[in-house]
Structure 1
Amino acid sequence: MGKQLKPKQRGTKIIPFIQNGEYYFKKGMQAYQQRDLYKAKKYLERAVQYDGNNASFALQLASVLAELGEYQASNQWLFKIIHELDETMDECFYFLANNFAHLGLFHEAMKYAETYLARDPDGHFAEDTEDLMELLKIDQEDENGDEQDDLITQQERARLLLEKEKFPEAIRLLEMIIDRYPEFWSAYNNLALAYFYNGNVQKAQEIIEQVLERNPGNLHALCNRLVFYYYLRDERQVNRLSDQLACVHPFFIEHRYKLGATFALVGRFDLAFKWLYHLYKIRYDGDDAFYYWLAYAAYYTGREELAKNVWEKVIEANPNKRGEEPWAFSVPSVDPELQKIIRWFDRMNIAEMLYGLYLLSESPYKNDPAVSVAIRRYLADHPLLSQFADYFLFREAEMSPPYVVDSHIIINKLSEKNERADETMYIAWFSVVVNASAKERFSNHSAWSAALEYVWRQRQGQHVTQKWIADKYHVSLSTVKKYVKKVKELLS
């Protein structure tokens, strides 16, 4: 819809083996001149990683992104230049106008076109801007365009709020969108995600069911429902929904990616590989998240060489992912002890997974950072698991809640006075922790230990007395009676 930036001649001599921002910028410009836009994008992204304050690098990247049709990503870089890097780069306003016009946001496009002409009336893009404005005036005569502009703008704002984890604000905006556009299903799906991540699981599920009732077969809703059950550790529903979605064959590439990524997230790597590798073969140019999930799907379906090749693309796009390779999560076949511990993290019960974390903290692997990082990432998204993992695996005692530290002391006390084989006793203790409110105090370690063991032995059919337990843990009989009542309530 207009001119793009012309490659600039640079006088600085580049030494190829010095991989700095200038080096990657030059590589990107060479690819751009050869019209290999995907390669140009990759090199320019590396250039801005090395030198994030160079406005010229950022502007050229924005230009390439626009040519690839990635208008929103292009706009993000243009706004960064205007607000952070170099406010004198007036051409950014022309590119913003061009991008918003392509997105169908004609009011926004007109605003930035007028800004460009006001700031640089005789500029390089002045004539193109005037032509663009003539086209925009024609489009704006359609009143429906105003409504569409408003809808897309609000949806984009809601998406950014979700990315920034501002869930209450996103919920308010998305509910307003739905009120005005009652069949805009994308807003419903995003609203369900906002409620879920804000802790209102029931509301999130109700919205998904509402979408599927009124718009059967909505793939995003089906995938989100599967993800919800996965995080809730409902294995039966996860298997049922995965089998249902395995029969789906999407037409749109976006839906194929959504399906493949969802399968990978819930651990159905066989189904994930089917769709993600299909996209890979047709030369789908995804972001680092696409290659991330493809690497995992390939690795866990026995395609290690492909996984390692794909992982290089992940690191190239996002060096911070180094150390999160799928093979870092693998359990060595020669080590049955570690394999036995890892199996606890595949359970449905949070208490069992907490026990697995405790076992790992007592194992020879407790000081192995690679194993700790792998396990931490493998765990389900649950606040208790996160808190205990930070404490057991990364020794963050100063930042851990008191009940986490107290729980560790209590399970150690139980372990000292009983056999390690009594695993269900220790799991019973973690069940108490899971069921207790955040206000419950576990500071009387001996009392809680004595009460837990007494209740556990009773439920095992063993004949023990509270007096015997009181003597074992050196607490009074009245204290045991008091805490036994608490333990029974929490285990009921």
Structure 2
Amino acid sequence: MTELTSEKDTDHGNVVPITLDANFFFERAVRSLDRFQYDKALRNFRKAVEYEPENPVNHCNLAGILSEMGDYEASNDILRHVLDKIEPGMTECHFYMANNFANMDNFEAAEQSLVTYLEEDANGEYLVESEELMELLQYELDRPAPLVRIRSREGVVEHERARRLLEEGKFQQAVKLLEEILDTSPDFLAARNNLALAYFYMGHFAKSRECLSEVLEQDPGNLHALCNMAILLQYAGDKEQLAVLVSMLETTVPFHQEHVFKMATTMGILGRHRIAYSHFRRLLKEAEAAGDASLHHYCAAAASNSGLYDEALHCWRQAARLDPASPVPSFFLTQLQAAGKAGQPMPAISYNYQLPFQEQLKQWAESPDTLAREVQSNPLLRASFFWALRYGDSDTQRQVTEALRWIGNSGTAEMLRKLMEQEPSLEEGLPETALLSLQRLIGGPEGEDVSAAEQERLPLPPKGALEWKEEWQRIIDQTTTMMDRRFDAHQKKAAELLWQRFVDRLQPDVPPFRHTQGWSAALEYRVAKLYGRPVTYREIAQRYSVTVSMVSRYVRRIEEICETFDDLSGLGIFPSSTEKI
């Protein structure tokens, strides 16, 4: 450090010392910058570095002025020197370098530096600016950045991935990821809430309740946890605690849109449709939400279920205007008008933004060309048709076979041939009109006669119905009860029909089913697999309090008897209730 002496102060006779140090030159550099004197600022920043060469801030200041002057390469050389020789933990240098590279149109290097900054920086000082730069780089490189994590938002990227897994029904994968997040970030309440949901969907109700209790211990007013707890209590049949919690929720007025949507969907699940309607109405007052046709449908469903038919009419009209290509709003408008003319109340309306299955069949039947394309390209649609042939009522079966006949497609005919070969009892429950359509489709183009071989495969008159026993019904009842809230109505119906098929094929020698819990466990496991849900024998065994070997043995027995019970299709779920960040 150097001290200089100024001229004598004539008023006081004092000598004013001037201390030449890094701070002195830094202040001079800042004054020069204020006057846009970049050359002087550069000289003063260089002097500051000379006086304190081990101070990384001085080097960063020098790099900053070089960047301002357009010398991006020199700026990056200094920043590399800081990271390599002086302070490797000064992560903001990576952000500065990313900006320099972007200014040089070296977008690959800019992306690499920016990703390094986001993955290593714990403070997130330039997080907002980084998001803006990331958006620019994605545009320039025409691809998303290979970002694994954002350290300053530890677990957020992973949590978003887990939330998507939940919404896709991949519960086991979601649980694994959420548990890993909570191992490192135990106070991450959104992740704990979603872990509770995942446990709930998998049937681990005790674990789900434990997770929610942990959230509420840390944050007693956590709305997601309170709503999830209410749904869990309803499932458990705990009417006393549910009444207390619902009473509190009914008087709660959320502020954030996400919380309003959570409250609305929860009230819909709990059957408090009038309250759900009031929350959906609040959401529709927001300009962005008002353009969402599905939200107008949710609001209409809540209004209709509350008997507010004028309001439902208005909402479905808005949905039709916003989404003219969708048949959903017009279908429910027609239903509402028909009910009004007949002076009858509307039946309960699902909040799912989709047509009822039978109505979908009618729509497709009116457009055979569209249906043909969809059947060939969509395996899930084919599965839903075969499901309807097996388990639908007579009207549905007739509509499906008639629609398939209209396709006149040899590929579809071949699929049905294989289906009938694998399921010789399929035709037993089909009505005469459906059988006629099947015969024509399998026999070839319309007008051709059915071959003798095909005629041999046509059904014999159905046998007398087997007397249904109480113990058989008990297995169905306890299975569908355990499946409640984790499976939709169609999936529970599939479990019932599978069990009926299994018992029917065992006749006349149906053995006594002593271990009803084991058979119920096997039944749920088989249906879960049919719908592509991740499940293990161990999980099912724990849920039903039976052994793994028992579940495995009973599943094999069901598969032996019903060996060709194909994959079934789900027909939609209630709007997502996972918690975002």
Identify the TM-score tier after normalising by the shorter chain: 0.3 to 0.5
Normalised TM-score (structure 2): 0.39
Query: TM-score if structure 1 supplies the norm length?
Result: 0.45
Which protein is bigger by CA-based radius of gyration? 2
